[in-house]
Amino acid sequence: MSNTFLGMPTLPVFGHGNLNATEKFPKAAHRELGDAQLRANLGHATHTIRDKRLKVVAELPDWEDMRDAGSAIKNATMARLPALLEQFEANFTARGGIIHWARDAQEANEIVTGLIRATGETEVVKVKSMATQEIGLNEYLEEQGIAAFETDLAELIVQLDHDKPSHILVPAIHKNRRQIREIFLREMADVDPALTDEPARLAEAARKHLRKKFLTAKVAVSGANFGLADTGTLTVVESEGNGRMCLTLPETLITVMGIEKLLPSFADLEVFMQLLPRSSTGERMNPYTSLWTGVTPGDGPQNVHLVLLDNGRSAALADEMGRTALNCIRCSACMNVCPVYERTGGHAYGSTYPGPIGAILSPLLTGIKSEENSSLPYASSLCGACYDACPVKINIPEILVHLRGEDVDSKRAKIKVPSQMDLMMKGAQWAFSDGAHLNLLEKGLPLGKLAAGRDKVIKKLPGIAAGWTQSRDIPAPPTQSFRQWWDKEHVAPAAVERSQDGSRNTEGEQA
Amino acid sequence: MKIALFATCIVDAMYPRTARATVAILERLGHEVVFPSGQACCGQMHVNSGYFKEALPVVANHVKAFDTEDYDVAVAPSGSCVASVKHQHEMVARRCGDAALEARAAVVGAKTYELSQLLTDVLGVTDAAEQLGSHFPHKVTYHPSCHGMRLLKLGDRQLDLLKSVGGIEMVELPEAEQCCGFGGTFSMKNADVSSAMMADKAANICGTGAELCAGGDASCLMHIGGGLSRQGSGVGTMHFAEILASTLENPATVPGNVQLAGSKR
Ligand code: SF4
């Protein structure tokens, strides 16, 4: 379709907010790799969660069937998302809730601010939420003179330290408890100066710090793990109880939820309440699951709002190969098993969504056009560990490759001078699309021996291949390729020998 | 059985000994090996780097070379190349709008096996010492490459075959299932992360005290071996086919440093 129709918005509408990488991944990764403490913290944490997850997943004999079910329910949801959203809206509204639609981060932030302003409050408590991270709500509210207090322990640590989350489930995964104690002592006005770095003492300090806020806050802002279309119910799954407090004590509750978080029916929760806790925290069940359906007179918040956020999700949905990325339930299993994430940490990905899912989701939501974003799909060795771990079977490696294709094509259209990589690929295309071409090239193999020198290894290559030789040698190539050996030694004599004893012994040439 | 060998570009050009070992094993079992001469490469590097347009003629060439009735099964001593033939070729054809190629690629893909898969599932090899005369009196550790493990679901096939080799001492590799960091052009585009992954893999290998690390993918072995060599570890890498091909009468030489196989080339 041509996009020149007047009055029509340009499609697709991409997302904004904390989704764009601000520097290219290799550069960011280089910096983060230099932080030995970060690597130690991350290695320890990811290995612990990884092992826990494997143990509890192994307990369920039907785990693979459950993954299939999760994947099927999500695919069915995406296939009729508009209808389900309307069904959800009708049910949510019928129960006394109010729905707001936000096309992008800016609109969502404005809506939330307007709702808070209407209450006359200048402070809100917050339940951990990826959607509000994505749109940069806390920062926006601060500019508007509204203070937002994170109540999730890890989220609080990051907020107090004026840092950014580096993991979607354990935002402070890059910090150890010694560092956390320092942050509390420095940033919490009411902290006990004798605080130690025992986890229980740290949690106690946070609890005391937050209690006042819980009891006085009139407005809470949350995200939602699931929205159930057939009942108009919202769900938050958590483990500290802070969410339950925020969702029940205040008078006004404002939830921001991505439009992809729907499940068709209440019954579908059965599958996801098994998949999510086991995949995310390695627990059989999370301690707190809160469900609310509109307003209950005299009980809980009497002002219940939901901001339904697009912010690039429609654009991702329009990508036939990439749309399954929207099936993500934000469990973080993929980043916990990712060897790249384990070494670079979440900040290297620039976006609210790090790790394997971030490497596909960020470019899908925001478009692959920017240099920085387009480096994300290459931040993977395609080892496939993420696909194996994902509870809803998102084929992340396949989508990474698809997005690399989009990137190559978009650059091809834009830049007229081919890059080193383009030239290398072009050359390899010639060599690899005809056995005779490869053979011709292989005749030059003895030259490689010269390049290798006395110790029979190549230690330095130029151009884009220089990265390889920064830490790895390359063996001197052999003087004869396999096909040359085959032509010379095998084909002709084989015919003769085979007629004698039916088989041929090649081991002689092995030794 | 008539078996078509897909040598793969890297084995053909850099590690011919691996292909020769593959031929030796199959012939020792009494099968006829043919080498379709038009073959070159599976195109994995192009596909994984996003160069679908450039991948198309490479895929078409592979399909043309192997699209013949004149063999029973095709085999390659490489998990990732077989995964590419089985899982990527149809996708490339589809993406480039070539329905005829897509259909032919499906046929070729279905007939193609990774070496340990063919030996175990089709040819019934369970005891290499007994059935192949394999003998390799060395201390060996084993790294399962990602594509074989995850895309082809090879499980312990390669490891079990190695364990059944006469005289061999297998030692377990800690964190064996972690990627070695090769990832094709990933090792160039994200050289720092790739090096960090390789360094951890190399440290785990050296920690086992093994003389060498065996595996089923020449590219991963070149990557790991290249790192071990740069570190001056003296530990080498070797394709499992060469270990299976080694016998008491014609023992394979234990490689040091980056050489994948015996020192004579
Ligand atoms: S992509 Fe899959 S594994 Fe990763 S966070 Fe989403 S649901 Fe979890």
On whether the CB atoms of residues A249 and A217 are closer than 8 A, the answer is: yes
* Cβ A148 under 6 angstroms from ligand 1: no
User: Which chain A residues are closer than 8 Å to B53 by Cβ?
Assistant: 409
Per-residue model confidence as pLDDT tens digits over A94-120: 999 999 999 999 999 999 999 999 999
Atom of ligand 1 lying closest to residue A332 CA: 5
Which residue is associated with the tokens 């143990």?
A55
Indicate yes or no: CB of A506 within 8 angstroms of CB of B16. Answer: no
What count of CB pairs under 8 Å joins A to B?
Answer: 256
Higher pLDDT pick, B147 / A424: B147
Cβ atoms of A234 and A227 closer than 8 Å: yes
Q: Distance from first CA to last CA of chain A, Å, rounded?
A: 65
Dihedral of CA atoms B137, B139, B145, B148 in degrees, nearest 10, equals 40
Residues comprising chain B, all counted: 265
**Short-list B181, B187, B258, B259, CA closest to B226:** B258
Q: Is the CB of A69 under 6 A from ligand 1?
A: no
Handedness of CA A423, A424, A425, A429 (dihedral sign): positive
A400 C-alpha to ligand 1 centroid (Å)? 14
Res A3: pLDDT: 41
Q: How far is B174 from chain A (nearest CA, A)?
A: 13
Beta-sheet strands, E only, within A155-309: 219-222, 226-228, 233-238, 252-258, 262-263, 288-292, 303-309
CA–centroid distance, B45 to ligand 1, in Å, is 26
Shortest CB distance from B226 goes to which of A383, A436, A472?
A472
Which residues, 6+ apart, have CB-to-CB distance to A37 below 8 Å? A176
Whole-prediction pTM: 0.92
CA A280 to centroid of ligand 1, rounded, Å: 9
Q: Per the omega criterion (within 30 degrees of 0), is the bond before A493 cis?
A: no
CB A127 within 8 A of CB A243: yes
CB contact under 8 A, B178 and A387: no
User: CB contact, 8 Å: B152 with chain A?
Assistant: no
Q: Does B229 touch chain A (CB under 8 A)?
A: yes
Q: What is the pLDDT of residues A217-231, one digit of tens each?
A: 999 999 999 999 999
Which residues are paired to A307 by β-bridges?
A100, A256
Q: Which of A486, A502, A507 sits opposite B35 (nearest CB)?
A: A486
Summarised one tens digit per residue, pLDDT across range A235-254 is 999 999 999 999 999 999 99
Query: CA of A475: which chain B residue's CA is closest?
Result: B258
Pocket test for ligand 1, best of A66, A336, A394, A400 (most atoms within 8 A of CB): A394
List the residue whose alpha carbon is closest to atom 4 of ligand 1: A334
* Nearest 10 degrees: Cα torsion B69, B73, B74, B77: -170
Residue in A334, A335, A352 to alter for ligand 1 test, most ligand atoms within 8 A of Cβ = A334
Token pair belonging to A334: 């993929």
3-state secondary structure of A29: helix
A498 pLDDT band, cuts 50/70/90, is very low
pLDDT in tens, chain B (265 residues): 999 999 999 999 999 999 999 999 999 999 999 999 999 999 999 999 999 999 999 999 999 999 988 999 999 999 999 999 999 999 999 999 999 999 999 999 999 999 999 999 999 999 999 999 999 999 999 999 999 999 999 999 999 999 999 999 999 999 999 999 999 999 999 999 999 999 999 999 999 999 999 999 999 999 999 999 998 898 999 999 999 999 999 999 887 554 444 433 3
A332 lines ligand 1 (CB under 6 A): yes
User: Cβ-count burial of A12 within 10 angstroms (0-12 exposed, 13-18 middle, 19+ buried)?
Assistant: middle
Contacts with A32 (C-beta within 8 Å, 6 or more apart), sequence order: A38, A344, A345, A347, A348
- The predicted structure's pLDDT at residue B256: 59
- Alpha-carbon distance A433 to nearest alpha carbon in chain B (angstroms): 4
> How high is the pLDDT of residue A508?
36
Q: Whose CA is nearest to atom 2 of ligand 1?
A: A390
Distance from residue A390's CA to the centre of ligand 1 (Å): 5
Residue of A nearest to B254 (CA): A511
Let me know: does A158 contact A183? Beta carbons within 8 Å. Answer: no
Q: Which two tokens stand for residue A212?
A: 């006042």
Tell me which residue has its CA closest to atom 8 in ligand 1. Answer: A331
Question: DSSP secondary structure string, A374-403?
Answer: HTGGGS-----HHHHH-TT---HHHHHHHH
Q: Which of B12, B29, B251 is nearest to B132 (CA)?
A: B29
